[in-house]
Structure 1
Amino acid sequence: MEPTRLFDLLSYQKDNNPLKDTFSYKYDGDWKSYSTDDVIDIVDSISRGFLKLGLAKNDKVGIVSSNRPEWNFIDLALQQIGAVSVPMYPTITPKDYKFIFEDSGLKYVFAEDQELYDKVKKASEGLSFIKNIYSFEKLDGVSYWTELKESGGSDETNLQPYRDEVDPEDLVTLIYTSGTTGNPKGVMLTHHNVLSNAKAVNENLDVDGLRKSLSFLPLCHIFERTSVYFYLYRGVAVYYAENLEKIGDNLKEVQPDMFTTVPRLLEKIYDKIVAKGMDLTGVKKSLFFWALNLGHKFDRNKNQGAWYNFQLRLANKLIFSKWREAVGGNIKLIASGGAALQPRLATIFWSAQIPVLEAYGLTETSPGIAFNRYNKEDMLIGTVGPALPGVEIKIAEDGEVLAKGPNIMKGYYNQPEKTDEVIDKDGWFHTGDIGEMVNGKFLKITDRKKEMFKTSGGKYVAPQYIENKLKESTLIEMAMVVGDGQKFPGALIVPNFDALREWCHHKGIAYSSGAEMVKQQNIIDKFQKEIDNANEQFAQWERIKKTVLLPKSWTVENHELTAKLSLKRKIIEANYQKEIESIYED
């Protein structure tokens, strides 16, 4: 029987493709796996435990944790009694938590460890409607999540009547989007919203042998969460990475068939590979860059002749095979979303037989709107692919991308006026992104509507496009284009300090610290050459006239990046106001 609600995915997996390792996680250095039957038993026990606490349909429960099976257990247990999960990023402030607690009116919160428990406890002070805070790790004096499981495990309450009361159109989760200004908005998603998206992705991926996945993007973000529901539907085992620093090790241990990612992590993988190539000498170095140049010429939709194909096969055997080993040696596809992927990056990975499929969507769209397919006819590098099955796309007169379909949210919680601003009377959701259709089929995103700006000369500038071109340089980790109302665009540049150290080593330049190096004229001149190379691809009014090299990276912890590593422009502008002003000094 086809699932119609998200918790139905468990019984669907049991009936169609039961697994020994539905969810796996490293506890104290050893992998522990939960089978399909294990997950069902644990989830049912927790559901009964919630009922014994008096939790009712539509009650809200918060989850503040990194990825781990307990996250899924709580989520699925809430679903089948009609309660609503409120996932939150572990990186936000107690002030943000308090706003979400008050806005959602949640009754319980699950916090992963001592650090997050302390933040949640502080945020909940004075909020009498929060009845208890549970932890996923054993903490002194704190209720441990297994108490609920044990409480429900000794109970024989029949859960079926509760499941029967849950409608596909019922609210399943409230996800608060991280706004760069003002308070976050609670996005209301239903079972049908999210499940329709997971099924549409499954319909798109005509790829055999998807057995294991590695998960490291935050489950509190809808991209990874819907991916996990797809894994449950498809019968793909989910292995949770230990942390971002251990991804490389975990890829080699798990040897996944696929994973989801954001472009920044692919950029880091590529930069590390190129840095290793720079360290080679003699014939090995020549072979490495010969393969790299071949890869950049790759075109999946074009046969470039027997000689090129022969060279690429050789490059794959000699060089790119090591790239595949670095991502586990078994990758059949990588799904990239959350931000624009550099076409140059997608091309090189495809040439190395590491397929990267770029997707596009928002929290409000569950998240998928468009997704490149695996087959040649439905994949075009430089675009985010055709619309997902059941989703309609149209481009408004001002270039904004509009979407309609079963994936569109119910609205913003407690904010009907904000909902009306983004969903028009005909049901079209206004994404806030500017785009175009390529070949009448493939959606191409050019920028955020709110991020485009006009120079004093009246020319519009799309910063994301320029930033992505700048980041094609291995020396540039991040860039933010500025210039609203100014004579010309400028840019704040965050160097890739590891690559800069390597470059200095090869040039015989003594490397002290990032803060010192960005002041040196020979370093400034080198970066100017990188900017000049990128400027050749821009229209005259888009060209970067002046830049400032920054001494340190932007981080999530400093609130300069979102959890999916996108720029928080307003905060960066405020933090670097003097540097931006220096760009426009006469």
Structure 2
Amino acid sequence: MAKLENLVQLLDRSLSLHGPRPLFGTKADGRWSWITYAEFGQLVARFRGGLASLGVQRGDRVALISNNRVEWAVAAYACFSMGVAVVPMYEAQLPAEWAFIINDCEASVAIVATPQIYEKCRDLPEKAPSLKHIVCLFEPEGPDGAPGARTTSYGALLAAGEKGPAPAIDPTAADTACLIYTSGTTGNPKGVILSHGNIASNVCAVLDLIPFGSADRSLSFLPWTHSFGHTGELHVMITVGASMALSESVDKIVANLAEVHPTVLMSVPRIFCRIYEGVQKQMTEKPALVQGLFRAGLRAAARQNKGEALGLVERLTLAAADRVIFSKIRDKFGGKLKYAISGGAALSYEVAEFVDALGITVYEGYGLTETSPVVAVNYPGARRLGTVGKPIPGVRVEIDRSETHDSRQGEIVVYGPNVMVGYHKRDEENKAVMMEDGGFRTGDLGYLDEDGYLHVTGRIKEQYKLENGKYVAPSPIEDKLKLSPLINNAMVYGDNRLFNVALIVPEMTALSEWARGEGLTFDSPGAMLRHPRVIARVQAEVDRCSSDAKGFEKIKKVALTDEDFTAENGMLTPTLKLKRRVVLAKYAPVLDALYSGSTKAAPREAAPPG
């Protein structure tokens, strides 16, 4: 892969090589339509001229509140070609977070996706004095309703840019490309400053390892606001001349997969877990003969993928399972899926092995927003399930055991051109994570095995100590629990306690079906979750899922709630990471009661206010 210094070079190269090829696909009125690379390049040039007509210039910052859409990419690449930093945000974030970020980064322009977002942003100029323009990705109706800022539209800026073109600049590798704000699991979001060189180096390193090409296609639903979607999908796919179909919504992913026939699926583990859970549930409804063939086929595929030789019976079994079952599952995903790229959090070994056995090769990787994001990845010729792979070219990983006092496990420290410039206006926090020798302290626990594969075992800040002095990393335990068809979500707790407990959000449909089969009927979900037999059933499922956990990691008691953890109620970040402090603030009395002998459940209506 030719080395690229900035994101403008990246796009220019692809426009010259792949102009007539399809780039973005969108669905409207039941049909998919595609925009080519050449058409995209023209839109970028026109929008660049439109931004210039507003007075936007090199060094400015433009905020972008939108889910994935063609206009998102047009705006971002137009900014890159002006030396302007893009500040992406999620539609699902709270207006107070938008205001905080826009004020913190001193953005002069905010681009908003929908009328609903615009209504919530009308008072932004009062909270963020730097904001001078609001650009709507729709045609606003009525007079300007945002005092202190001029409102215009995407269409108007395209027209202005066509009349008054603005030349592109060639940013330096040190120029800021993005300010991507972290999710704020432990406080206010922090602006991660990523340079053109940070991101371009990451793209080139990934493409040195994984052979994506112009014939590849992805179904894009991983937010480009998230650094994994931003670098790993948007920039990587554009660099190789591949195409991206923009998913209609999360609940239509499977339907869209069948329609656009992608070769690549980039996702956080939760989507792969849902695929796993869905297939497992469907198999329970099949005849015993099919179930037996399914399980035997999975075992044979797992052995073959580990490089083990199969006997004649196993080969025949795998061939039959693939023809009768696995091929039909792949057909539901479009029939052409070759690669499943997982990042953003740890992927369960069981799920990775399952997807791999279906004939879809899993490449799990690891990274953070602060590392642009990719640090390590599995790739052809160097792949080991259960690990996040080896460090990418140009990146070095060291394990600092000074705090853990463990012979193997410690904090993951990253060195390389992908390490961020720093946090915006956060000197103390920069000092805490940026080492004098250029290393970045990730805050993640892990180790390198004897073959150089990186294992990530948890977050240092999430790790807590039981009364007996044993340290517990809750995330891997929670990931195991969430593979159960009876468990939708979970939070493990035990800081300075005798043992671990868990707050469980059951899969209410599955639990209700079990209860009916047991002859139990209830007036409300709350009544069901308070019943001792229901609690015992969930406890038994928790015990089953954590059967291979160490003794001190076992979960002795559970509390149940029918309130799921979501971004809307503030218990998850927009990237689906658990906000433990928020969950604990609401459910601390319920969890504390488990230690005082109470085993009553905590359905939503009985939960403490918060």
TM-score by length of 2: 0.91
Matched, 1:84 2:95: no
Within the candidate set 260, 271, 277, 2:266 is matched to: 260
User: What's 1:4 paired with?
Assistant: 5
Return the offset for 1:306: 3.4
**1:562 counterpart (567, 573, 578):** 573
Q: Distance in 2 between matches of 1:83 and 1:306?
A: 61
Once the two structures are superposed, the pairs formed by residues 529-544 of structure 1 within 5 Å of their partners are 529-544=540-555
CA spacing shift, 1:200–1:509, aligned 2, 3 Å: farther
The residue type paired with residue 118 of structure 2 is: Y
Provide the rounded CA distance (Å) in 1 between the counterparts of 2:511 and 2:300. 25
> Residues 317 and 511 of structure 1: is their aligned pair in 2 closer, same or farther, counting only changes over 3 Å?
farther
Separation of aligned partners in 1, 2:454 and 2:414:
11
Kindly provide the amino acid, as one letter, of the partner of residue 429 in structure 2: K
The structure-2 alpha-carbon separation of the partners of 1:180 and 1:530, relative to structure 1 and needing over 3 Å to count, comes to same
Alignment correspondent of 1:102: 103
Out of 213, 221, 225, the position equivalent to 2:226 is: 221
Over 3 Å counting, the alpha-carbon distance change for 1:123 and 1:235 in structure 2 is same
Please list, as runs of the form range in 1=range in 2, the aligned pairs for 1:40-439 lying within 5 A after superposition. 40-141=41-142, 143-157=152-166, 159=167, 162-164=168-170, 166-206=171-211, 210-226=215-231, 227-291=233-297, 299-375=305-381, 378-397=382-401, 398=404, 399-439=410-450
Deviates more, 1:302-311 or 1:343-352: 302-311
How much has 1:291 moved relative to structure 2?
Answer: 4.2
Q: Note the C-alpha offset of 1:156.
A: 4.2
Contact 2:4-2:204 at 8 Å conserved across structures: no
Number of the residue aligned with 1:494: 505
Q: Would you say the 8 A contact 1:365–1:409 is kept in 2?
A: yes
**Count of matched residue pairs:** 580
Q: Which runs of 5+ in 2 are unaligned?
A: 143-150, 405-409, 598-610
- Contact 2:193–2:422 at 8 Å: present in 1 too? yes
Residue by residue over 1:385-436, the C-alpha shift from the partner in whole angstroms, topping out at 9 and shown as x without a partner, is: 0001111001012300000001000001111221121010000100000001
State the alpha-carbon separation in 2 of the partners of residues 232 and 575 from structure 1. 44
CA RMSD of aligned residues (A): 2.1
User: CA 1:283–1:169 in 2, change beyond 3 Å: closer, same or farther?
Assistant: same
Q: Provide TM-score, normalisation by structure 1.
A: 0.94
Contact 1:135–1:144, Cα closer than 8 Å, also in 2: yes
SS of match in other structure, 2:22: coil
Q: How far does residue 29 in structure 1 lie from its aligned partner after superposition? A: 4.0
| Structure 2 residue aligned with 1:23 | 24
Q: Report matched runs for 1:439-518 at 5 Å.
A: 439-504=450-515, 514-518=525-529
Counterpart of 1:102, as a letter, is: N
Percent identical across equivalent pairs? Answer: 35
Q: What are the Cα deviations for residues 250-279 of structure 1, in whole angstroms up to 9, with x where unaligned?
A: 111111110211111111121122222222
Q: Is the 8 A contact 1:400 1:431 kept in 2?
A: yes
- Aligned residue for 1:91, secondary structure, equals coil
Distance 1:156 1:144, change over 3 A: closer
Q: Is the 8 A contact 1:471 1:477 kept in 2?
A: yes
On the 8 A contact 2:176/2:194 being kept in 1, the answer is yes
Q: What is the DSSP-based 3-state SS (H/G/I as helix, E as strand, rest coil) of the residue aligned with 1:31?
A: strand
Q: Which amino acid aligns with 1:346?
A: A
C-alpha distance after superposition, 1:259-302 (max 9, x if no partner): 21111111112112222222234544444455456566664333
Distance 1:360 1:177 in 2: 16
Aligned to 1:24, the other structure's residue is in SS state strand
1-structure distance, mates of 2:342, 2:520 = 37
Worse-superposed segment, 342-351 or 521-530 = 521-530
Q: SS in structure 2 opposite 1:51? A: helix
Q: State which drifts further: 280-289 or 107-116.
A: 280-289
